[in-house]
Amino acid sequence: MPADLQSETTELLQRLIQFDTVNPPGNERACQEYLAAHLTAAGFEVELLGAEEERPNLVARLRGEQPGPVLGLLGHVDTVLAHPREWQHDPWSGDIADGFLWGRGALDMKSQVAAEIAAATALAREGWRPKKGDLLVMSVVDEETGGALGAQWLTQQHPDKVRCDYLLNEGGGEQFEYRGRRRYGVCVAEKGVFRFTLVTEGVAGHASQPKMGDNALLKLAPLLERLATRQPQYELTEAPAAFLRGLGEDPADPVGALARIEQADPRMIPLFEPMFGVTLTPTRVSASQKINVIPSRAELKVDCRVPPGLGQEAVERAIEQVLGPQDGWRIEWDTRISGNGSPLGSRLREAINGWIGSQDPAGATVPLILPGFTDSRHFRAAFPDCVAYGFFPQLHQSRFETAPLVHSANERIDVRDLGFAATFYRDVIVELLR
C-alpha cells in the first residue's frame, strides 16, 4: 500500500477525533467544515446541507466524463459518549501508541470517513476523474441517535443530491479466522426491529400486607427465566445460509453447523449467531410507581431483532417457542420495522471479492447480516435499486479484537489498517467508475 496514503489517512483521522462530536448534542459543524475544505481543495463540488445550523451534512461530488453509475462513500462523524477516566489515552487526543490510533470514533466510524476521503482526495489531486459516472462522498450527522437529522433527512429532503447506484458504508470488513482461513465479512443486510412489551396484571394492595394483593411483578419472573434459558429456533434466510457455505458448513443443518463453529472457536457465536433468526432480549422492567404499593400492572420491555425476509409471524413463532402460550400475560407491540438488505451478488461485491483476492490470496469474503442498524437502511428505503454494503477492510485488527471496543473505552485501530482500507477505497473507486 502507498505509504503516503496511509500517512494521510492517519493524520486525517487524528484531526477528526480531536473534534468532540458526541451525540447528543453532536455539534458536528466544525468537523464538517474541516472536511469540506479538504474536499474542495482537491476539486470536489461540496455542499453542507442540514436541518439544523450546527449539524450540517456534507455532500461532495466528483463528476465523470460520461454518464454512468454513481458510487457513494458514506460515513458519519457523530460519536457516542466517552468518559476520559476510563481510558488509557484521552478519547479526543488521537494519540498513536503501540501501533494503534486511540480515540472515540477510531472504529465507529471516523476511521472509515478518513479512509474514504483520503482515497478520494488523493485520486482527485492526481487529476483522476471518473470515466463513466460520478463519485459521491457523504459525511453525515446524527447516526448514533437514528439519523433523523442525517441520512434520513438527506434522502428524504434532497434525494437527487445523494441518489447512488452503489454505496459503501460501515458494518463489515474486519477479518476473522475459521479453520485456518481468513474471512472478511461483507454486511449485505440489517435486521429489523419488532419491540414489544410483555404485560401482566394483578390487584393492587398495601405492600405491608403482601397477601392482600395480587402482585403483577411476580408474574414476570417465570417469563424472565424462560427468556434467560431458552431461545427461538433458527430460521435461515439467504445471507446466513451463504455465510455457512462460505465457511464450508452445511446450511441444511444450522444447529450442527453452529455447534461445530462453537467448538472450533467459541468467540464466533456471540458475533454471528444473531444472524440465524429472531432474537428476544429483555431490557427493562417497570411496575409500581410507589415502593409501598403492590403493583396491579407490570411491564417487561423486550428488544426483538428480525432478519430481513421475516416479519411479525416469525416473531410470534419465536415468542411461543420461548414463552409458551399466552397464559396470564399479553403482548403490546411498540415498534415494527422490517429488516433491509441488498443482493448478495453485484458488480460491487465482485469488486470487493477481486480486491481481497489480490491483497490477501488466503482470504475470502462472506456475507453478514448486521444485528443492529446503520444509515444504509435510509438509502435502501429511498433508492430501492441501490446496492449498499458495509465494508471497511481490516487485516491486522480482527473482528474479535474490534467488536469489544466499539462504543467502549480505549477504542482504537491498528494504524496499518488505515492504509489497508484507504487502498481498498482508492482501488474500488477506480474499478467501478472506469
Answer yes or no: do 362 and 294 share one domain.
no
For 296-323, write each residue's pLDDT tens digit: 999 999 999 999 999 999 999 999 999 9
Quote the pLDDT of residue 2.
61
Confirm whether 269 is domain-assigned: no
Quote the pLDDT of residue 1.
47
Stated pTM of the model: 0.95
Answer yes or no: do 303 and 375 share one domain.
no
User: What per-residue string of b and e applies to 310-343 under the rule 16 or more CB within 10 Å gives b?
Assistant: beeebbebbbebbbeeeeebeeeeeeeebbbbbe
Q: In the chain, how many domains are there?
A: 2
Cell numbers that stand for 147 in this block: 439519523
Answer yes or no: do 113 and 28 share one domain.
yes
Answer yes or no: do 130 and 53 share one domain.
yes
Quote the pLDDT of residue 11.
98
For 349-394, write each residue's pLDDT tens digit: 999 999 999 999 999 999 999 999 999 999 999 999 999 999 999 9
Answer yes or no: do 25 and 129 share one domain.
yes
- Contact partners, residue 209, CB within 8 Å, separation at least 6: none
Answer yes or no: do 25 and 165 share one domain.
yes
Of 162, 176, 164, 228, nearest in space to 386 by CA:
164
Any idea which residue has 399479553 for its cell? 330
Confirm whether 361 is domain-assigned: yes
**SS3 at position 302:** strand
Answer yes or no: do 202 and 285 share one domain.
yes
Q: At what angle do helices 254-264 and 238-246 cross, to 10 degrees?
A: 50
Confirm whether 197 is domain-assigned: yes
CB 369 within 8 A of CB 341: yes
Confirm whether 247 is domain-assigned: no
Which domain covers residue 293, as residue numbers?
Answer: 192-235+277-337
Cα gap 166→386, rounded to integer Å: 6
Confirm whether 415 is domain-assigned: yes
Cell numbers that stand for 236 in this block: 435461515
How many CA atoms lie within 13 Å of 337's alpha carbon, on the beta-carbon side?
17
Confirm whether 270 is domain-assigned: no
Confirm whether 271 is domain-assigned: no
Answer yes or no: do 12 and 143 share one domain.
yes
Could you tell me which residues are beta bridge partners of residue 222? none
Band (3; pLDDT cuts 50, 70, 90)? low
Answer yes or no: do 159 and 30 share one domain.
yes
For 20-72, write each residue's pLDDT tens digit: 999 999 999 999 999 999 999 999 999 999 999 999 999 999 999 999 999 99
